[in-house]
Each structure stands twice: as structure tokens, then as C-alpha cells.
Structure 1
Amino acid sequence: MQLTHIALWTNDPERLRDFYVQYFDGKSNEKYVNPKKGFSSYFVSFESGPSLEIMQRNDITEFYLPEHIGLAHLAFHADTRDQVDCMMERFREDGCVIAGETRVSGDGYYEGVILDPDGNRVEIVTR
């Protein structure tokens, strides 16, 4: 498995995106906007390693709520949908909390979500 991106909630996505572009030579995509969900995001990629998903949602504005400014989730890349399904079944069998059943997301990922022992969201994803 390979870590693909780290997601951060923010109230000012352009400011945060610009920081990572300026100081860490990140490359940003165009802004993704889902008006139905009040959601927008940028992906900032780097020469190597995981990218950052810098996200904003209208109803996530305060610190230290169940979803808050700061780390939102970690995502690990799977090679196939079958691998996502197998991993999710393994997590279920091992008693992990399933936070999101497998689905195809609005931006085309096939994903399942679990909680790690500290309650951090971890996505297993493939295209």
C-alpha cells in the first residue's frame, strides 16, 4: 500500500494552497467545487510522496469538532477495487470501525473508510 494524499480542512483554501505551492514547490490543480455539498478542494502534489487535499466545506468552520480544521483523513492507494474490498473485509473481521462503506465518490474514486485506533479517518482508494 502507498500513501497517496493527506487532507486538511481549512477556512481559506487559497491561502493554504499558496503556502504549500510557495514554500514546498507544490503544483496545484484547478479548484474542484461541489455546490450541492458546499464543498471545494485543491490537490497540491509534490515531486514525490503524497499530495495534500486542501478542503473547505460550508459547515466545517470550527476547530476540534468531529470534523475540524486540521487533519481530515489519510488515504492509501489500492491497485484494484477487489483490493479495496479485501482490505475492508479484513478491517471488518479484525473489529475495526467501518466509517464509510465502499462507494464510488463524486470525483471517481472507489473507496472505503475506516477509523484507526485513535479515531482518525483512513481511506482505502482506487480509481
Structure 2
Amino acid sequence: MKIEHVGLFVQDLEGMKQFYEHYFGATAGEKYPNPKTTFQSYFLRFSDGARLEIGTREDLTILSKNSPALFGYDHLAISLGSAEKVDELATQFRKGKFTIKSGPRTTGDGYYEAVIIDPEDNKIELTI
């Protein structure tokens, strides 16, 4: 197992992309837009291979005026190495009475994942 990436919700997607590129030498992948949910994101890769996903949604920008806590760290993604391992661990979490927020499924941008909620309500994305 290894940490695959950390997700960060931001208000200014393009500005934050430029910030990480300029100050940390990150390289952005292509923007992923999901017109159905209005979610957009970039994966930023750092020189050591670490990745940060920055994303936003239209509704979060509107809601942020009343609830700034919606922005910031969103999830921790852990790579398990195979779809079978994602399925197996998701099943273990389900049997342990943990909340499965989504999946296992293939996302619109091609990730196979399940998202579980840990004991303190943090999202953990189980991925290949």
C-alpha cells in the first residue's frame, strides 16, 4: 500500500494550479471537468512523484460564503495495487459497519475506487 494522492478543495482552481506550479515546481495534468456535477480538478505531480488533486465545484463556491470549512483537505487516496484489493478492502469496511460513501466503481476520469468514511468522518479513497 502507498498513499496515492491527497485531495484539496479550492475556490480558485486556476489560481491554485499556478501557485503550486510556480512555488513548488508541480506539473499539472489535463483539467478534468464533470459537467453533470460541475466538479473540476487537476492532478499536480511533484518532482518526487507525489500527487495533489485540487478540485472545485460550483455549488461549493456558492456555499462557501456561509461555510468556509467546505474548502481544504478533502480526502486521502491509498493505492492498493489492484481492483480486486479495492473490492476486498471495501467489503471488509462494509462488514465492519463503516460507511461506504461510494463505489467500488470506475469514475468519470477513469479511476477505480471506493470511498470509505473513517471513524472520525474523514474520507479515504481506496484506489488501484
TM-score (ref. length: structure 1): 0.89
Q: Which of 100, 112, 120 is matched with 1:110 structurally?
A: 112
Match of 2:79 in 1: 77
Comparing both structures, which one devotes a greater share of its residues to helix? Answer: 2
Asked if 2 retains the 8 angstrom alpha-carbon contact of 1:6 and 1:50, the reply is: no
Matches within 5 A, 1:1-127: 1-48=1-48, 50-61=50-61, 62=64, 63-64=68-69, 68-126=70-128
Cα offset, 1:23, TM superposition: 1.4
Deviations 1:56-92 (A, max 9, x none): 111112122xxx1101111111211110011111112
Residue 4 of structure 2 aligns to a residue in which SS? strand
Residue 59 of structure 2 aligns to a residue in which SS? coil
Structure 2 residues not aligned, in runs of 5+ = none
Deviations 1:83-111 (A, max 9, x none): 00111111122232211131110011111
Identity across the alignment (%): 40
Q: Deviation above 4 Å: which 4+ runs of structure 1? A: none
Q: Which amino acid aligns with 1:30?
A: E
Structure 1 residues not aligned, in runs of 5+ = none
Cα offset, 1:49, TM superposition: 5.0
Give the number of equivalent residue pairs: 123
Residue 60 of structure 2 aligns to a residue in which SS? coil
